[in-house]
Each structure stands twice: as structure tokens, then as C-alpha cells.
Amino acid sequence: MSTAEKIYHEVKRLPEPLAREVLDFIEYIELKHGLIDSQVDELIMAQEPAMRHIWENQQDEIWNEV
């Protein structure tokens, strides 16, 4: 089992607030090591509320089952 799979299995057991904390830490590590561009990430987060009604609809639900 890969490290990513082990992390996945451990995080699945956590309550949502703790899982979010783990995700925040992962994002911090990515930013610290230059694996993500913080400006792009901020733009994505800024557009999410405006785009949620487009992204989350019953007609497109089939695409979420990838």
C-alpha cells in the first residue's frame, strides 16, 4: 500500500473538522515546497461560490462518478 493510500484510509476515519485540518496541512506543505501556486489556488477558491450552481447540478451528476 502506498503512502498516499495509507493517508487516505486514515483520513476517511476522521470527523470532518479533523479531515479539513489534515487537508489544510497538506496545502501548507505544497505551498512551502513550491508545489502549488498560491495565486491560482486563491483564484479557484474565489470563483467557487459563484460557480457552485453550475458545478453542482443533477444533470451533471454522472460526471462526479469518475
Task: Considering only residues 51 and 61, tell me which one the structure prediction assigns the higher pLDDT.
Answer: 51
Can you give the pLDDT at residue 13?
Answer: 96
Is the per-residue pLDDT at 66 higher than 90?
no
Answer yes or no: are the C-beta atoms of 14 and 22 closer than 8 Å.
yes
- Rounded-to-integer distance, Cα 41 and Cα 44, Å: 5
Residue 37 grid cell? 501556486
Q: What is the pLDDT of residues 15-53, one digit of tens each?
A: 999 999 999 999 889 888 888 777 777 888 888 888 887
Q: Is 19 exposed, middle or buried (0-12, 13-18, 19+ CB in 10 A)?
A: middle
Give pLDDT, residue 55.
72
Q: What is the pLDDT of residues 5-15, one digit of tens each?
A: 999 999 999 99
pLDDT at 56 over 80: no
